[in-house]
Amino acid sequence: MSDDDPLDALIETEKLLIRQEVSLLEVAAQTVANALDYDALGNLGEMANKYKVLTNDGGLKYRVIETSEACGFTGCCPSGRICCNPNHALQLHVFHPESSKDEAMMFIDRPCKCGQCCACCSICKQEMKVYKGPDSGPPGGEDNIENQIAYITQPTLGGFMSPELMVMDREDSEEMMFRVKARAFCCIGGICCDHTFDVTDSEGEYMGRIVKEAPEGFVDILKELGTDADNFTLYVKQDLEKEKKAAMLASLHLLDYMFFESGGAVNVDLTGMMEGECPSATFKCCDCYCCGCLTPCTCYMGPSGEDEEGGDGEEPPPEDREEPPPPEEGDEPPPPEDGEEEEPPEEEEEEPPEEEEEEPPEEEEPPEEEE
């Protein structure tokens, strides 16, 4: 590799396998948060991401290491991992082990943004700036202006129903380097299938593609269900300029933070066991996407949550109803309940007067005959 340009390591690249490493502390924190049904607890164990970039035959090509603050602030606004994950401010440093283990061949800067909302203004549009190494100061500083090779951002409204990224040389550039567009319509994420993003130039010509891989084996399925670690494959044309290959690698990582860093696909709640109920589980099928907004589509399995009064709006059986106390003298009777007709007061039937039985007339005894 040439000593003049660290990006020369990308010249012969045609296919790269990106494998995110699993953090045991993240797994433990997320497990406890799921068990207690307290999602915010999982962010306390959120660690900076690490990736291995492998060649087609499995050899280590690069290492990508995130640098971010757990409780950072940008001005007076929080921008650290604990509060803002996965939209926190971060830098990614790409190392080439064969040339230098301490000096990055390229590095990427992403500011904190309002994520998963409508991409209609700059504060809601995800973006990244890509620089070639060596790292000679803070990202975006005066020492790195000449080393910037790409600027990645979302278009206004984020591609409508399909996620989209635009890649340019500079932030104020009018000429687009290439476009990254998802093949999916409205739905993104999920573990049932691959998710492909096509990379085309301004004229629509193929330049490469980014594939978020579906799990293939039992271990991969467990990793997808319980963690946010993912596997990607990057395909690029071999004769593509090295700066464009570097920008495509940065676009892959931005897509990971935008759509695939929100935790595992299953959330198991064990709090009901303390009350003698069965545990419940929520499974995320996918995310519904529209104009930059993400809404999770989930399935729930567990107790039905019926209330003690019969549940789901049903009236309790007649034997379980409490009869109201009888009204006191002088009180008006309570109004009838909804759905019950007011019964007219019962009229007291007057009993006919009893007829006096006439006593039969006494029979007169015949006079006695005189002898």
- pLDDT for 310 equals 46
What pLDDT score was predicted for residue 90? Answer: 94
- Residue 352's pLDDT is 60
- The SS3 of residue 77 is strand
Q: What percent of the chain has pLDDT over 70?
A: 78
pTM: 0.79
Averaged pLDDT, 20-38? 83
pLDDT tens figures, 274-331: 777 888 888 888 899 999 999 999 998 888 755 444 445 555 555 555 666 666 665 5
Q: Which amino acid, one-letter code, is at 15? A: K
Is the pLDDT confidence value at 114 over 80?
yes
The Cα 245–Cα 68 span in angstroms is 24
Mean residue pLDDT of the chain comes to 82
* pLDDT score at 302: 83
Q: What is the pLDDT of residue 329?
A: 60
- Report helix, strand or coil for 93: strand
Summarize pLDDT for 45-78 with one digit per residue, the tens.
889 999 999 998 888 999 999 999 998 888 788 8
d(CA 80, CA 69): 5
**pLDDT for 341:** 55
Distance CA 230, CA 273 (A): 32
Residue 98 has a pLDDT of 78
Spatial CA neighbour of 207 closest among 251, 232, 238 = 238
Closest CA to 180 of 205, 163, 193, 156: 163
Coarse DSSP helix, strand, coil percentages of the chain, rounded to the nearest 5 percent: 20, 30, 55
pLDDT for 359: 58
**Which is higher by pLDDT, 147 or 151?**
151
- Spatial neighbors of 246 by CB under 8 A, at least 6 apart, are 7, 10, 106, 130, 132, 149, 150
Q: How many residues does the chain have?
A: 371
Where is mean pLDDT largest: 12-21, 25-34, 353-362? 12-21
Assess whether pLDDT exceeds 80 at residue 141: no
Q: State mean pLDDT over 178-204.
A: 92
Beta bridge partners of 208: 199, 236
Share of the chain above pLDDT 90, in %: 41
